[in-house]
Amino acid sequence: MTDSTATPRKGRPRNADADRAILAATRAVLAELGWGGLTMGDVAVRAGVAKTTLYRRWPSKNDLVVSAVAVLFDELEMADLGSLRADIEAVVRQFADLLALPESQAALLALFAEATRDPALRQRVREAIIEPQKCLVRQGRAAAQARGELPPDTSPAQAREDVDIIFDTIAGAVEHRILITGEPASPEWITRFTTLLLTPLTQP
């Protein structure tokens, strides 16, 4: 689902187990030491690999942390459950469960805080995390249109704007609920949120 690793370089084949260990170690160090305390050396020691191994895969700390966060979203999916309501509730529940994990919370908060100060990092977050996740919105929206639950697009620009707004609404609401207020996304909350989201979407 996401661009969870940097662009592969020519040479020795990638080791998936090593990649997973490195990305997990990155999130662990980030949770313990924060962005400022994280170094490539710390991650290499925690993952049990040589520091040069990290730099062959991720040329910078920014690339490494973005990949470590992006891979968390790989399991999110927009399953076609037969109705737009069911599809939205399912993806919101997956997203909420992901954000409830301590490693997800620490990694996301540190990454987003640093991105507010670093335009290049912010752009990398958009490319590797945000844009791939908008594919879920496009999939769910297309399925709902095929079922007749949503009207067809009037233009490509309108379609892009709708996807952006839907994504921002879902991501913003769930992240605020979990990361900012610390409240759980209960089944009742998800149902109510979905109802509020669907009302304007399904109006003629």
Alpha-carbon Rg for the chain in angstroms:
19
Q: Read off the pTM.
A: 0.83
Residue with tokens 């999130």: 27
Return the domain boundaries, the chain: 70-201
Q: What is the pLDDT, as a whole number, of residue 14?
A: 61
Q: Which pLDDT score is estimated for 103?
A: 84
The domain defined by 70-201 carries CATH number 1.10.357.10: yes
Confirm if 144 and 14 have CB atoms less than 8 A apart: no
Give CA torsion, residues 52, 56, 60, 64, to 10 deg. Answer: -100
Backbone angles phi, psi at 23, to 5 degrees: -70, -35
Q: What per-residue confidence (pLDDT) applies to 10?
A: 45
In this predicted structure, what is the pLDDT of residue 200? 85
* Low-confidence stretches of the chain (pLDDT beneath 50): 1-12
- Look at residue 80 in the predicted model and tell me its pLDDT: 86
Query: What are 185's two structure tokens?
Result: 């996304």
Burial track 27-66 (b if 16+ CB lie within 10 A, e otherwise): bbbbbeeebeebebebbbebbebeeebbeebbeebbbbbb
